[in-house]
Amino acid sequence: GAVVSQHPSWVICKSGTSVKIECRSLDFQATTMFWYRQFPKQSLMLMATSNEGSKATYEQGVEKDKFLINHASLTLSTLTVTSAHPEDSSFYICSAKGQTSNQPQHFGDGTRLSIL
């Protein structure tokens, strides 16, 4: 079946560091990719939606300059958390969807980000 690969799975770094998370669709072309954030024991919160080759659409309350999203190809999207601080510590999950509208949306395994 379709697979979405997310890397790295766990990051621990100092406050002020910028962290890049990659999301790849391995066996299908992801025309749309989504980035979610999940706090412990809570459901997923959509941060932004990106279509290949265009600027990401951010949800209300999500800082565009803080969370930089690039979707340069049909198989790769990146989320960069710029100048990360402890409050950015969270579980980030990417998701990808192909061109066919009636296909399921597939998710990566998530990245646990811990900012010290």
Partner 1 sequence: KQEVTQIPAALSVPEGENLVLNCSFTDSAIYNLQWFRQDPGKGLTSLLLIQSSQREQTSGRLNASLDKSSGRSTLYIAASQPGDSATYLCAVRLGAGNMLTFGGGTRLMVKP
Tell me which residue has tokens 């989504």: 34
Please provide residue 39's backbone torsions phi and psi, each rounded to the nearest 5 degrees.
Answer: -90, 160
Of 95, 96, 98, 113, the residue at the interface with partner 1 (CB under 8 A) is 95
Q: Is 43 in the site for partner 1 (CB under 8 A)?
A: yes
Q: Which is nearer to partner 1, 12 or 16 (CB)?
A: 12
Reduce the DSSP state of residue 71 to 3 states and report it.
Answer: strand
Q: Which is nearer to partner 1, 36 or 84 (CB)?
A: 36
CA distance 102 to 53: 22
Q: Is 78 in the site for partner 1 (CB under 8 A)?
A: no
Only one of the segments 11-19, 67-75, 79-87, 101-109 lies at the binding site for partner 1 (rule: CB under 8 A); that segment is 101-109
Sign, CA dihedral 112-35-31-102, equals: positive
Query: Pairing relation of β-strands 10-13 and 19-25?
Result: unpaired
Q: Which residues bind partner 1 (CB under 8 A)?
A: 4, 6, 32, 34, 41-44, 46, 49, 91, 93, 95, 101-110, 112
